[in-house]
Structure 1
Protein backbone atom coordinates (compact mmCIF):
# COMPACT_ATOMS: atom_id res chain seq x y z
CA UNK A 1 0.00 0.00 0.00
CA UNK A 2 3.03 2.32 0.19
CA UNK A 3 2.73 3.52 -3.43
CA UNK A 4 -0.99 4.19 -3.04
CA UNK A 5 -0.49 6.16 0.18
CA UNK A 6 2.32 8.24 -1.34
CA UNK A 7 0.21 9.00 -4.45
CA UNK A 8 -2.79 10.16 -2.40
CA UNK A 9 -0.65 12.33 -0.11
CA UNK A 10 1.17 13.76 -3.15
CA UNK A 11 -2.15 14.64 -4.79
CA UNK A 12 -3.40 16.46 -1.70
CA UNK A 13 -0.15 18.36 -1.20
CA UNK A 14 0.16 19.39 -4.86
CA UNK A 15 -3.43 20.62 -5.22
CA UNK A 16 -3.21 22.43 -1.88
CA UNK A 17 0.11 23.92 -2.96
CA UNK A 18 -1.38 25.28 -6.18
CA UNK A 19 -4.15 27.04 -4.25
CA UNK A 20 -1.57 28.47 -1.82
CA UNK A 21 0.63 29.63 -4.70
CA UNK A 22 -2.36 31.41 -6.22
CA UNK A 23 -3.49 32.87 -2.91
CA UNK A 24 -0.16 34.51 -2.11
CA UNK A 25 1.49 34.97 -5.52
CA UNK A 26 -1.47 35.31 -7.88
CA UNK A 27 -0.92 34.51 -11.54
CA UNK A 28 2.83 34.58 -11.04
CA UNK A 29 2.57 31.70 -8.58
CA UNK A 30 0.66 29.59 -11.10
CA UNK A 31 3.19 30.38 -13.82
CA UNK A 32 5.95 29.30 -11.42
CA UNK A 33 4.16 26.06 -10.69
CA UNK A 34 3.70 25.35 -14.40
CA UNK A 35 7.46 25.57 -14.97
CA UNK A 36 8.22 23.35 -11.97
CA UNK A 37 5.61 20.74 -12.88
CA UNK A 38 6.43 20.43 -16.57
CA UNK A 39 10.14 19.83 -15.91
CA UNK A 40 9.66 17.50 -12.93
CA UNK A 41 6.88 15.48 -14.58
CA UNK A 42 8.97 14.74 -17.66
CA UNK A 43 11.70 13.29 -15.43
CA UNK A 44 9.32 11.50 -13.09
CA UNK A 45 7.54 9.80 -16.00
CA UNK A 46 10.62 7.59 -16.48
CA UNK A 47 9.68 5.69 -13.30
CA UNK A 48 7.31 2.73 -13.71
CA UNK A 49 5.40 1.60 -10.60
CA UNK A 50 2.44 -0.50 -9.53
CA UNK A 51 -0.36 1.25 -7.66
CA UNK A 52 -4.06 0.56 -7.17
CA UNK A 53 -3.61 -2.75 -8.99
CA UNK A 54 -2.33 -1.06 -12.16
CA UNK A 55 1.00 -0.61 -13.90
CA UNK A 56 1.66 3.09 -14.41
CA UNK A 57 4.35 5.70 -14.87
CA UNK A 58 4.81 8.46 -12.36
CA UNK A 59 4.21 12.06 -13.36
CA UNK A 60 0.44 11.67 -13.68
CA UNK A 61 -0.36 13.89 -10.72
CA UNK A 62 2.09 16.59 -11.83
CA UNK A 63 0.74 16.55 -15.38
CA UNK A 64 -2.81 16.73 -14.02
CA UNK A 65 -1.87 19.72 -11.88
CA UNK A 66 -1.01 21.77 -14.98
CA UNK A 67 -4.61 21.33 -16.17
CA UNK A 68 -5.83 22.60 -12.82
CA UNK A 69 -3.60 25.65 -13.29
CA UNK A 70 -5.02 26.52 -16.72
CA UNK A 71 -8.57 25.95 -15.47
CA UNK A 72 -8.03 28.31 -12.52
CA UNK A 73 -6.55 30.92 -14.83
CA UNK A 74 -9.39 30.49 -17.33
CA UNK A 75 -12.01 30.78 -14.60
CA UNK A 76 -10.54 33.52 -12.44
CA UNK A 77 -8.29 35.50 -14.77
CA UNK A 78 -8.72 35.27 -18.54
CA UNK A 79 -8.06 33.07 -21.55
CA UNK A 80 -4.86 34.94 -22.39
CA UNK A 81 -3.41 34.17 -18.93
CA UNK A 82 -4.24 30.47 -19.32
CA UNK A 83 -2.54 30.32 -22.72
CA UNK A 84 0.46 32.19 -21.30
CA UNK A 85 0.89 29.44 -18.68
CA UNK A 86 1.00 26.89 -21.52
CA UNK A 87 3.64 28.96 -23.30
CA UNK A 88 5.74 29.11 -20.13
CA UNK A 89 5.54 25.31 -19.84
CA UNK A 90 6.74 24.88 -23.42
CA UNK A 91 9.63 27.33 -22.96
CA UNK A 92 10.67 25.64 -19.71
CA UNK A 93 10.69 22.20 -21.35
CA UNK A 94 12.75 23.33 -24.34
CA UNK A 95 15.22 25.13 -22.06
CA UNK A 96 15.63 22.05 -19.88
CA UNK A 97 16.33 19.83 -22.90
CA UNK A 98 19.10 22.14 -24.08
CA UNK A 99 20.63 22.47 -20.62
CA UNK A 100 20.52 18.75 -19.75
CA UNK A 101 21.96 17.67 -23.08
CA UNK A 102 24.79 20.21 -22.83
CA UNK A 103 26.09 18.29 -19.81
CA UNK A 104 27.14 15.40 -22.04
CA UNK A 105 29.44 17.63 -24.09
CA UNK A 106 31.87 17.63 -21.16
CA UNK A 107 34.48 14.95 -20.52
CA UNK A 108 34.06 13.96 -16.86
CA UNK A 109 36.96 13.87 -14.43
CA UNK A 110 38.34 10.45 -13.56
CA UNK A 111 36.97 10.90 -10.03
CA UNK A 112 33.49 11.79 -11.25
CA UNK A 113 30.73 9.41 -10.24
CA UNK A 114 27.61 11.31 -11.30
CA UNK A 115 27.90 11.40 -15.10
CA UNK A 116 26.99 7.71 -15.73
CA UNK A 117 23.84 8.07 -13.65
CA UNK A 118 22.90 11.36 -15.29
CA UNK A 119 23.48 9.84 -18.70
CA UNK A 120 21.30 6.84 -17.84
CA UNK A 121 18.46 9.13 -16.79
CA UNK A 122 18.70 11.98 -19.28
CA UNK A 123 19.77 10.07 -22.38
CA UNK A 124 16.07 9.27 -22.88
CA UNK A 125 15.00 12.77 -21.95
CA UNK A 126 15.10 14.35 -25.46
CA UNK A 127 12.49 11.98 -26.90
CA UNK A 128 10.28 12.18 -23.84
CA UNK A 129 10.61 15.92 -23.60
CA UNK A 130 10.04 16.56 -27.32
CA UNK A 131 6.96 14.35 -27.32
CA UNK A 132 5.93 15.89 -24.02
CA UNK A 133 6.25 19.42 -25.41
CA UNK A 134 4.15 18.63 -28.48
CA UNK A 135 1.48 16.73 -26.53
CA UNK A 136 1.47 19.28 -23.71
CA UNK A 137 0.91 22.13 -26.16
CA UNK A 138 -1.86 20.32 -28.04
CA UNK A 139 -3.69 19.06 -24.95
CA UNK A 140 -3.38 22.25 -22.91
CA UNK A 141 -4.43 24.62 -25.68
CA UNK A 142 -7.32 22.26 -26.43
CA UNK A 143 -8.26 22.34 -22.73
CA UNK A 144 -8.30 26.15 -22.62
CA UNK A 145 -10.34 26.34 -25.83
CA UNK A 146 -12.81 23.67 -24.65
CA UNK A 147 -13.12 25.24 -21.19
CA UNK A 148 -14.29 28.54 -22.64
CA UNK A 149 -16.55 26.80 -25.17
CA UNK A 150 -18.30 24.89 -22.37
CA UNK A 151 -18.37 28.05 -20.24
CA UNK A 152 -20.36 29.83 -22.95
CA UNK A 153 -22.80 26.90 -23.00
CA UNK A 154 -23.21 26.73 -19.21
CA UNK A 155 -23.70 30.50 -19.00
CA UNK A 156 -26.59 30.24 -21.45
CA UNK A 157 -28.09 27.18 -19.76
CA UNK A 158 -27.94 28.57 -16.19
CA UNK A 159 -28.27 32.24 -17.09
CA UNK A 160 -25.29 32.92 -14.84
CA UNK A 161 -21.61 32.77 -15.74
CA UNK A 162 -20.66 31.65 -12.22
CA UNK A 163 -22.75 28.49 -12.26
CA UNK A 164 -21.72 25.20 -13.84
CA UNK A 165 -18.08 25.46 -12.78
CA UNK A 166 -17.85 21.73 -12.02
CA UNK A 167 -19.22 20.91 -15.48
CA UNK A 168 -16.73 22.99 -17.48
CA UNK A 169 -13.86 22.07 -15.19
CA UNK A 170 -14.41 18.31 -15.34
CA UNK A 171 -15.57 17.99 -18.95
CA UNK A 172 -12.73 20.04 -20.41
CA UNK A 173 -10.10 18.34 -18.26
CA UNK A 174 -11.33 14.76 -18.80
CA UNK A 175 -11.45 15.13 -22.59
CA UNK A 176 -8.11 16.93 -22.69
CA UNK A 177 -6.53 14.29 -20.48
CA UNK A 178 -7.77 11.52 -22.77
CA UNK A 179 -6.12 13.27 -25.72
CA UNK A 180 -2.98 13.89 -23.68
CA UNK A 181 -2.73 10.30 -22.43
CA UNK A 182 -3.19 8.64 -25.82
CA UNK A 183 -0.75 10.92 -27.66
CA UNK A 184 1.93 10.82 -24.98
CA UNK A 185 1.81 7.09 -24.26
CA UNK A 186 2.32 6.02 -27.85
CA UNK A 187 4.55 8.95 -28.79
CA UNK A 188 6.94 8.52 -25.87
CA UNK A 189 6.98 4.76 -25.32
CA UNK A 190 6.30 3.09 -28.68
CA UNK A 191 9.26 0.78 -29.27
CA UNK A 192 10.29 1.00 -25.61
CA UNK A 193 7.51 -1.20 -24.22
CA UNK A 194 5.45 -3.86 -25.99
CA UNK A 195 1.90 -3.08 -27.13
CA UNK A 196 0.31 -4.78 -24.12
CA UNK A 197 2.35 -2.68 -21.72
CA UNK A 198 1.50 0.45 -23.71
CA UNK A 199 -2.21 -0.29 -23.36
CA UNK A 200 -1.78 -0.93 -19.64
CA UNK A 201 0.04 2.38 -19.24
CA UNK A 202 -2.62 4.21 -21.28
CA UNK A 203 -5.57 2.75 -19.40
CA UNK A 204 -4.01 3.03 -15.95
CA UNK A 205 -2.77 6.56 -16.63
CA UNK A 206 -6.19 7.69 -17.79
CA UNK A 207 -7.90 6.05 -14.82
CA UNK A 208 -5.56 8.03 -12.59
CA UNK A 209 -6.27 11.17 -14.61
CA UNK A 210 -10.01 10.63 -14.16
CA UNK A 211 -9.52 10.49 -10.41
CA UNK A 212 -7.15 13.48 -10.32
CA UNK A 213 -9.47 15.49 -12.58
CA UNK A 214 -12.51 14.87 -10.41
CA UNK A 215 -10.55 15.56 -7.24
CA UNK A 216 -9.25 18.91 -8.46
CA UNK A 217 -12.79 20.37 -8.42
CA UNK A 218 -12.66 21.37 -4.71
CA UNK A 219 -9.34 23.13 -5.38
CA UNK A 220 -10.76 25.36 -8.10
CA UNK A 221 -13.81 26.20 -5.95
CA UNK A 222 -11.51 27.13 -3.05
CA UNK A 223 -9.39 29.25 -5.40
CA UNK A 224 -12.51 31.07 -6.61
CA UNK A 225 -13.63 31.64 -3.03
CA UNK A 226 -10.25 33.12 -2.12
CA UNK A 227 -10.26 35.26 -5.26
CA UNK A 228 -13.70 36.63 -4.39
CA UNK A 229 -12.55 37.54 -0.89
Structure 2
Protein backbone atom coordinates (compact mmCIF):
# COMPACT_ATOMS: atom_id res chain seq x y z
CA UNK A 1 0.00 0.00 0.00
CA UNK A 2 2.78 2.46 0.90
CA UNK A 3 4.57 1.78 -2.36
CA UNK A 4 1.38 2.46 -4.34
CA UNK A 5 0.80 5.69 -2.42
CA UNK A 6 4.43 6.71 -3.02
CA UNK A 7 4.01 6.32 -6.79
CA UNK A 8 0.71 8.22 -6.60
CA UNK A 9 2.47 11.00 -4.66
CA UNK A 10 5.19 11.10 -7.31
CA UNK A 11 2.66 11.45 -10.14
CA UNK A 12 0.70 14.10 -8.24
CA UNK A 13 3.76 16.23 -7.55
CA UNK A 14 5.10 16.08 -11.12
CA UNK A 15 1.65 16.83 -12.52
CA UNK A 16 1.08 19.79 -10.23
CA UNK A 17 4.48 21.39 -10.83
CA UNK A 18 3.98 21.03 -14.60
CA UNK A 19 0.52 22.57 -14.31
CA UNK A 20 1.88 25.46 -12.25
CA UNK A 21 4.53 26.17 -14.88
CA UNK A 22 2.07 25.85 -17.75
CA UNK A 23 -0.39 28.27 -16.13
CA UNK A 24 1.89 30.86 -14.55
CA UNK A 25 5.37 30.34 -15.97
CA UNK A 26 8.29 31.07 -13.66
CA UNK A 27 5.90 32.63 -11.10
CA UNK A 28 4.23 29.23 -10.79
CA UNK A 29 7.60 27.67 -10.01
CA UNK A 30 8.32 30.30 -7.35
CA UNK A 31 4.99 29.41 -5.74
CA UNK A 32 5.78 25.71 -5.98
CA UNK A 33 9.16 26.13 -4.28
CA UNK A 34 7.45 27.85 -1.34
CA UNK A 35 4.77 25.15 -1.17
CA UNK A 36 7.23 22.27 -1.41
CA UNK A 37 9.55 23.70 1.24
CA UNK A 38 6.76 24.11 3.78
CA UNK A 39 5.00 20.79 3.08
CA UNK A 40 8.25 18.82 3.11
CA UNK A 41 9.14 20.07 6.58
CA UNK A 42 5.79 18.86 7.92
CA UNK A 43 5.80 15.52 6.11
CA UNK A 44 9.36 14.73 7.20
CA UNK A 45 8.13 14.14 10.76
CA UNK A 46 6.37 10.96 9.63
CA UNK A 47 8.42 7.79 9.17
CA UNK A 48 7.16 4.92 7.04
CA UNK A 49 8.32 1.57 5.77
CA UNK A 50 8.61 1.62 1.99
CA UNK A 51 10.41 -0.62 -0.49
CA UNK A 52 11.89 -2.48 2.48
CA UNK A 53 13.42 0.68 3.98
CA UNK A 54 12.60 3.01 6.87
CA UNK A 55 12.10 6.44 5.33
CA UNK A 56 10.65 9.82 6.16
CA UNK A 57 7.95 11.36 4.04
CA UNK A 58 8.61 14.64 2.31
CA UNK A 59 11.29 13.24 0.02
CA UNK A 60 9.21 13.60 -3.12
CA UNK A 61 7.80 17.06 -2.58
CA UNK A 62 11.17 18.37 -1.39
CA UNK A 63 12.98 16.83 -4.35
CA UNK A 64 10.62 18.66 -6.71
CA UNK A 65 12.09 21.94 -5.47
CA UNK A 66 15.26 20.85 -7.28
CA UNK A 67 13.15 20.17 -10.37
CA UNK A 68 11.75 23.70 -10.11
CA UNK A 69 15.18 25.33 -9.89
CA UNK A 70 16.50 23.15 -12.74
CA UNK A 71 13.60 24.24 -14.97
CA UNK A 72 14.28 27.85 -14.03
CA UNK A 73 17.99 27.42 -14.77
CA UNK A 74 17.25 25.77 -18.11
CA UNK A 75 14.56 28.15 -19.34
CA UNK A 76 15.14 31.43 -17.50
CA UNK A 77 18.73 31.50 -16.31
CA UNK A 78 20.75 31.21 -13.12
CA UNK A 79 19.47 34.50 -11.67
CA UNK A 80 15.85 33.31 -11.65
CA UNK A 81 16.84 29.94 -10.17
CA UNK A 82 18.67 31.70 -7.34
CA UNK A 83 15.60 33.85 -6.73
CA UNK A 84 13.55 30.68 -6.22
CA UNK A 85 16.09 29.45 -3.66
CA UNK A 86 15.75 32.70 -1.71
CA UNK A 87 11.94 32.45 -1.85
CA UNK A 88 12.00 28.93 -0.44
CA UNK A 89 14.40 29.99 2.31
CA UNK A 90 12.19 32.95 3.25
CA UNK A 91 9.03 30.81 3.20
CA UNK A 92 10.40 28.37 5.76
CA UNK A 93 11.64 31.13 8.06
CA UNK A 94 8.21 32.78 7.97
CA UNK A 95 6.38 29.50 8.65
CA UNK A 96 8.62 28.66 11.61
CA UNK A 97 8.33 32.11 13.18
CA UNK A 98 4.57 32.48 12.73
CA UNK A 99 3.78 28.98 14.02
CA UNK A 100 5.90 29.47 17.14
CA UNK A 101 3.91 32.61 17.93
CA UNK A 102 0.67 30.71 17.24
CA UNK A 103 1.66 27.95 19.68
CA UNK A 104 2.35 30.55 22.39
CA UNK A 105 -1.31 31.59 22.46
CA UNK A 106 -3.17 30.14 25.48
CA UNK A 107 -5.90 27.91 24.01
CA UNK A 108 -9.53 28.23 25.05
CA UNK A 109 -11.17 25.38 26.92
CA UNK A 110 -13.05 24.51 23.74
CA UNK A 111 -9.82 24.10 21.77
CA UNK A 112 -8.91 20.63 20.50
CA UNK A 113 -6.01 21.41 18.17
CA UNK A 114 -3.26 22.82 20.42
CA UNK A 115 -1.70 19.50 21.42
CA UNK A 116 -1.70 18.23 17.85
CA UNK A 117 -0.22 21.48 16.54
CA UNK A 118 2.43 21.36 19.26
CA UNK A 119 3.45 17.85 18.22
CA UNK A 120 3.89 18.94 14.61
CA UNK A 121 5.18 22.48 14.89
CA UNK A 122 6.84 22.30 18.30
CA UNK A 123 9.68 20.33 16.74
CA UNK A 124 9.74 22.60 13.69
CA UNK A 125 12.57 24.89 14.90
CA UNK A 126 15.04 21.97 14.90
CA UNK A 127 13.68 20.64 11.62
CA UNK A 128 13.71 24.15 10.17
CA UNK A 129 17.31 24.72 11.25
CA UNK A 130 18.31 21.45 9.60
CA UNK A 131 16.26 22.17 6.51
CA UNK A 132 17.49 25.75 6.12
CA UNK A 133 21.12 24.68 6.42
CA UNK A 134 20.68 21.78 4.01
CA UNK A 135 18.50 23.79 1.64
CA UNK A 136 20.92 26.70 1.44
CA UNK A 137 23.98 24.54 0.76
CA UNK A 138 22.36 22.07 -1.64
CA UNK A 139 20.15 24.41 -3.66
CA UNK A 140 22.86 26.99 -4.30
CA UNK A 141 25.16 24.14 -5.31
CA UNK A 142 22.45 22.81 -7.63
CA UNK A 143 22.04 26.17 -9.36
CA UNK A 144 25.80 26.55 -9.72
CA UNK A 145 26.28 22.96 -10.93
CA UNK A 146 23.47 23.19 -13.49
CA UNK A 147 25.07 26.26 -15.02
CA UNK A 148 28.49 24.55 -14.89
CA UNK A 149 27.26 21.54 -16.86
CA UNK A 150 25.16 23.62 -19.25
CA UNK A 151 28.24 25.61 -20.33
CA UNK A 152 30.02 22.36 -21.14
CA UNK A 153 27.04 20.51 -22.62
CA UNK A 154 24.70 23.22 -23.96
CA UNK A 155 22.70 21.10 -26.42
CA UNK A 156 19.04 20.39 -25.67
CA UNK A 157 19.74 16.65 -25.94
CA UNK A 158 22.05 16.95 -22.91
CA UNK A 159 19.37 18.26 -20.54
CA UNK A 160 19.34 14.81 -18.90
CA UNK A 161 23.05 15.13 -18.12
CA UNK A 162 23.02 18.58 -16.57
CA UNK A 163 19.78 17.85 -14.70
CA UNK A 164 21.02 14.65 -13.09
CA UNK A 165 24.67 15.64 -12.65
CA UNK A 166 23.65 18.74 -10.70
CA UNK A 167 20.73 17.34 -8.73
CA UNK A 168 22.12 14.02 -7.55
CA UNK A 169 25.23 15.57 -5.98
CA UNK A 170 23.15 18.40 -4.52
CA UNK A 171 20.75 15.95 -2.93
CA UNK A 172 23.62 14.03 -1.35
CA UNK A 173 24.78 17.29 0.23
CA UNK A 174 21.22 18.04 1.33
CA UNK A 175 20.66 14.59 2.86
CA UNK A 176 23.97 14.65 4.74
CA UNK A 177 23.43 18.08 6.28
CA UNK A 178 19.72 17.59 7.04
CA UNK A 179 19.84 14.17 8.68
CA UNK A 180 22.90 15.14 10.74
CA UNK A 181 21.19 18.19 12.24
CA UNK A 182 17.59 16.95 12.39
CA UNK A 183 17.90 13.34 13.50
CA UNK A 184 21.29 12.81 15.17
CA UNK A 185 20.48 11.67 18.70
CA UNK A 186 16.76 11.40 17.94
CA UNK A 187 16.98 7.90 16.47
CA UNK A 188 19.34 5.02 17.19
CA UNK A 189 22.36 4.77 14.91
CA UNK A 190 20.95 1.91 12.83
CA UNK A 191 17.65 3.74 12.23
CA UNK A 192 19.55 6.97 11.47
CA UNK A 193 21.61 5.23 8.79
CA UNK A 194 18.48 3.66 7.31
CA UNK A 195 16.84 7.09 7.15
CA UNK A 196 19.98 8.61 5.63
CA UNK A 197 20.31 6.08 2.82
CA UNK A 198 16.59 5.69 2.20
CA UNK A 199 16.22 9.48 2.00
CA UNK A 200 19.03 9.80 -0.51
CA UNK A 201 17.98 6.77 -2.59
CA UNK A 202 14.37 7.94 -2.82
CA UNK A 203 15.49 11.47 -3.77
CA UNK A 204 17.80 9.91 -6.36
CA UNK A 205 14.86 8.00 -7.85
CA UNK A 206 12.76 11.18 -7.95
CA UNK A 207 15.63 13.03 -9.65
CA UNK A 208 15.90 10.33 -12.31
CA UNK A 209 12.14 10.33 -12.86
CA UNK A 210 11.87 14.12 -13.15
CA UNK A 211 14.17 14.38 -16.19
CA UNK A 212 11.34 14.06 -18.76
CA UNK A 213 9.58 16.96 -17.05
CA UNK A 214 12.59 19.24 -17.58
CA UNK A 215 12.43 18.34 -21.29
CA UNK A 216 8.67 18.98 -21.24
CA UNK A 217 9.15 22.37 -19.59
CA UNK A 218 11.79 23.28 -22.19
CA UNK A 219 9.41 22.18 -24.96
CA UNK A 220 6.59 24.31 -23.52
CA UNK A 221 8.91 27.30 -23.26
CA UNK A 222 10.21 26.88 -26.82
CA UNK A 223 6.66 26.62 -28.15
CA UNK A 224 5.62 29.77 -26.30
CA UNK A 225 3.07 27.85 -24.22
CA UNK A 226 4.00 29.38 -20.86
CA UNK A 227 3.50 32.95 -19.63
CA UNK A 228 6.53 35.22 -19.81
Specify the TM-score bucket, using the shorter chain as the normaliser.
over 0.9
2:186 matched residue in structure 1: 192
Stretches of structure 1 that go unaligned for 5 or more consecutive residues are 156-160
Structure 1 residue 131: deviation in Å?
A: 1.3
2-structure distance, mates of 1:188, 1:47: 13
| Counterpart selection for 1:166 from 156, 160, 163 | 160
Question: 1:51-101: per-residue Cα shift (whole Å, max 9, x none)?
Answer: 111100000001110000000000001101000000000000000011100
1:103 matched residue in structure 2: 102
1-structure distance, mates of 2:143, 2:18: 19
Structure 1 residue 202: deviation in Å?
A: 0.7
Structure 1 residue 162: deviation in Å?
A: 2.5
TM-score by length of 1: 0.95
Contact 2:130-2:179 within 8 A present in 1 as well: no
Three-state SS of the structure 2 residue aligned to 1:56 is: strand
Confirm or deny that 1:25 pairs with 2:35.
Answer: no
Structure 1 residue 42: deviation in Å?
A: 0.2
Stretches of structure 2 that go unaligned for 5 or more consecutive residues are 224-228
Q: How many matched pairs?
A: 223
Three-state SS of the structure 1 residue aligned to 2:157 is: coil
Contact 1:16-1:219 within 8 A present in 2 as well: no
Contact 1:37-1:62 within 8 A present in 2 as well: yes
Q: How much is the aligned-residue C-alpha RMSD, in angstroms?
A: 0.9
Trace 1:132-147 onto structure 2 (pairs within 5 A). Answer: 132-147=131-146
1-structure distance, mates of 2:164, 2:38: 25
2-structure distance, mates of 1:209, 1:117: 28
2:206 matched residue in structure 1: 212
2:34 matched residue in structure 1: 35
1:61 matched residue in structure 2: 60
2:150 matched residue in structure 1: 151
Contact 1:67-1:140 within 8 A present in 2 as well: yes
2:226 matched residue in structure 1: none
Higher RCO (Cα < 8 Å, 6 or more apart): 2
Confirm or deny that 1:9 pairs with 2:8.
Answer: yes
Trace 1:113-132 onto structure 2 (pairs within 5 A). Answer: 113-132=112-131
**What stretches of structure 1 move > 6 A for 4+ residues in a row?**
none
2-structure distance, mates of 1:139, 1:62: 15
Contact 1:60-1:205 within 8 A present in 2 as well: yes
Structure 1 residue 111: deviation in Å?
A: 1.8
TM-score by length of 2: 0.96
2-structure distance, mates of 1:199, 1:152: 36
1-structure distance, mates of 2:70, 2:25: 14
Confirm or deny that 1:175 pairs with 2:169.
Answer: yes
Three-state SS of the structure 1 residue aligned to 2:22 is: helix
Contact 2:34-2:88 within 8 A present in 1 as well: yes
Structure 1 residue 113: deviation in Å?
A: 1.2
